[in-house]
Amino acid sequence: MRNTRPAFATKKAQLTPMAITDSNIVKLAPDAGTPSYRTQPHNIEAEQALLGAILVNNDAFYRVSDFLEAKHFLETIHQMIYETAGSIIRAGKVATPVTLKTFLPADTDLGGMTVAQYLARLAAEATTIINAQDYGRTIYDLALRRDLIRIGEDMVNVAFDAPVDFAPRAQIEDAERRLYELAETGRYDGGFQKFSNALTTAIDMAAAAYHRDGSLSGVASGLRDMDVKMGGLQPSDLIILAGRPAMGKTALATNIAYNVARAWRGELQADGQMKSINGGVVGFFSLEMSAEQLATRILAERTGISSSSIRRGGITENDFDKIRDHAIEMQNLPFHVDDTGGLSIAQLSARARRLKRQKGLDLLIIDYIQLLSGSGRRSDNRVQEITEITTSLKALAKELNIPIIALSQLSRQVESRDDKRPQLADLRESGSIEQDADVVLFVFREEYYLQNKEPKPGTPEYEKWQLEMSLVHGKAEVIIGKQRHGPTGTIKLQFDASVTRFADLAEEDNLPGRI
């Protein structure tokens, strides 16, 4: 029976990093007691088959070029051939063994063959273009496995040789970052999709909105007028919540976080995963306040007892019972707080991904952007650093498919105007924040500025001031300065400063009748 195996297959098997060696090197016979060493995952035949298909039909290159790069090939010569062929094809020329050999080192010995002979053999033994994408995916997957091995080896080496002042937690976060970077790039299922698939997704979103409380396409904030204007908090949106100090940014963020966590209802899927069908699992990065301070704020909001009274112990027995009952109720909320200060955007992203994987995540809140640092050494150019942060937050929102609410400070130029209502230009480092955000919300309370202008009692100005104060007392505005998929405008809310609680403003028609 004739052997049907192609002669080139033998050459393929010989083309390994150990094949190109000095013939004078003496190879030692393996000792029976010596353990055999594993080679990295690779498939030389797949690399050769793909390169041969590209050289025969350059269309094969476009079937893999959107996910496959030269670095994914194990053999150095294969990396050079793929990269050179790609450059020639992108320039509108034809990549063949004849056009390629000019750009490759002619003196390279490839198992007894010159580069020209090797290119000719690749083309002669090429498989059909139909299999090009499958070969490309095989090469790509094996490259990812080699990267995983490399990360694992680095983890082991660093753990063995780490200096005393190198915290294990820092190594864990670095390993998570590298793994997730690999996961983000480790896919070849992107690119164009049929419009019918997008239509199906849109219909599914509409169906989910129909069954969700309030019939919203996004996560309900718990504030009626805000949900009407925004359709809820939309997945993959970066929402900037900005305001001057004492306007109530953190209060509004905690109110929304509590409302979302309290409304959460989950449904167990066939794969064992819990899917949120209403409300959501909330992650809160509190970079300014401690977790205890945040909990005190929420307790004050729910019980109606001021946070200052809770902190000072100025409460009655009934107040304490009320606090205890609400605390028991809130213990089971899917609300997770991280109050670590000085986080970098890379650390924050790693922790958000970890929470998504372990507990689920439907809403992420960051208080606030200016307390984050870039992934590298702190830059003298703060604008560039903020640009990196906001760009990374938008990418994270899209990757996790959740809304991210990021709080931001406003510049002092607001105070120099007669009308203190903030504008997009008032955002600190506004270029990147305004550009990357899908929604920009400003919190504004006229009452705060007016109460600082109290005139002398008994004067005509005082009576006018009292009238103006009565009109704005307990009221706040949330100004939608930007919204990619909805209208801008102003939302009127009620605000109780003593317990830092925002609520829907009662409409005039629904107010109790006056006698």
Alpha carbon of 360 to those of 23, 402, 462: distances in Å?
Answer: 58, 11, 54
State whether 221 and 164 are in the same domain.
no
Q: Which of 179, 201, 224 is the last residue of a domain?
A: 179
Tell me, what's the pLDDT at 403?
Answer: 92
The set of residues, in sequence order, having a beta carbon less than 8 Å from that of 405 and lying 6+ positions away, is 233, 239, 241, 253, 256, 363, 364, 365, 366
> Tens digit of pLDDT for each residue in 218-266?
788 888 888 888 888 888 889 999 888 878 888 889 889 888 888 888 7
Residues 470 and 325 in one domain: yes
DSSP calls for 435-501: HH-SEEEEEE-HHHHHHTT---TTSHHHHHHHHHHHHHTTEEEEEEEEETTS--EEEEEEEETTTTE
Please indicate, yes or no, whether residues 455 and 381 belong to a single structural domain of this protein: yes
Residue 333 lies in a domain: yes
More confident residue, 94 or 465: 94
d(CA 480, CA 489): 5
| Mean of per-residue pLDDT scores for the chain | 78
Position 94 in a domain? yes
Please report the pLDDT score of residue 365 as a whole number: 92
Q: Which of 428, 301, 329 is nearest to 372 (CA)?
A: 428
Distance of CA 39 to the CA centre of its chain: 35
Structural domain ending residue among the three candidates 179, 198, 233:
179
Distance CA 96, CA 116 (A): 11
User: CA angle 450-452-453, nearest 5°?
Assistant: 70
Say which DSSP state 101 is in. G
pLDDT attached to residue 171? 79
Q: Tell me, what's the pLDDT at 22?
A: 38
Same domain (yes/no): 171, 252 = no
pLDDT band at 193 (very low <50, low <70, confident <90, very high): low
Whether 484 and 428 share a structural domain: yes
Same domain, 132 and 256: no
Last residue of one domain, picked from the residues 133, 161, 179: 179
Which range is most confident: 207-211, 308-312, 355-359? 355-359
Residues 451/471, Cβ–Cβ less than 8 Å: no
Residue, of 172 and 76, whose pLDDT is higher: 76
**pLDDT tens for each residue of 451-487:** 777 777 777 777 777 787 778 788 888 888 888 888 8
| Same-domain check for residues 170 and 219 | no
Higher pLDDT, 405 or 40: 405
Categorize the per-residue pLDDT at 3 as very low, low, confident or very high, splitting at 50, 70 and 90. Answer: very low
> Are residue 368 and residue 229 in the same domain, yes or no?
yes
Q: What is the pLDDT of residues 29-49, one digit of tens each?
A: 455 555 556 788 888 888 888
Residue 345 has pLDDT above 90, yes or no: no
* Predicted pLDDT at 73: 92
Would you say residue 355 lies in a domain? yes
The C-alpha atoms of residue 240 and residue 436 are separated, in whole angstroms, by: 9
pLDDT tier, 364 (very low <50, low <70, confident <90, very high otherwise): very high
Residue 15 — very low, low, confident or very high, per pLDDT cuts 50/70/90? low
**Model confidence at 511: pLDDT above 80:** no
Instruction: Give one DSSP letter per residue of 42-56, joined into a string.
Output: --HHHHHHHHHHHHH
pTM value? 0.64
Judge whether 27 lies within some domain: no
**pLDDT bucket at 395, cuts 50 / 70 / 90:** confident
Q: Are residues 306 and 383 in the same domain?
A: yes
Lowest mean pLDDT of 27-36, 319-328, 345-354, 453-462, name the range.
Answer: 27-36
d(CA 282, CA 206): 23
Identify which has the larger pLDDT, 193 or 334. Answer: 334
Whether residue 364 lies inside any domain: the answer is yes
How much of the chain is in helix, strand and coil states, percent to nearest 5? 50, 15, 35
Instruction: Determine the pLDDT at residue 192.
Output: 55
> pLDDT per residue over 268-295, tens digit each?
767 667 777 788 889 999 888 888 888 8
What CATH code is carried by the domain that includes residue 343? Answer: 3.40.50.300
Which domain, by its residues, includes 167? 7-15+38-179
Residue 203 lies in a domain: no
Residue 383 lies in a domain: yes
b/e 55-73 (16+ beta carbons within 10 angstroms → b):
bbebebbebbbebbeeebb
Q: How far apart are CA 402 and CA 362, in angstroms?
A: 5
Q: Are residues 174 and 226 in the same domain?
A: no
**Helix or strand run (H / E) with residue 384:** helix 382-400
Question: pLDDT band for position 7 (50/70/90)?
Answer: very low
Q: Is residue 12 pLDDT above 70, yes or no?
A: no
* Percent of the chain whose pLDDT exceeds 70: 81
| Model pLDDT, residue 375 | 66
Q: Is residue 32 part of a domain?
A: no
In whole angstroms, give the CA distance from residue 258 to residue 461.
41
Q: What is the CATH number of the domain that holds 62?
A: 1.10.860.10
Number of structural domains in the chain: 2
Say whether both 341 and 398 belong to one domain. yes
Residues 235 and 331 in one domain: yes
pLDDT band at 428 (very low <50, low <70, confident <90, very high): low
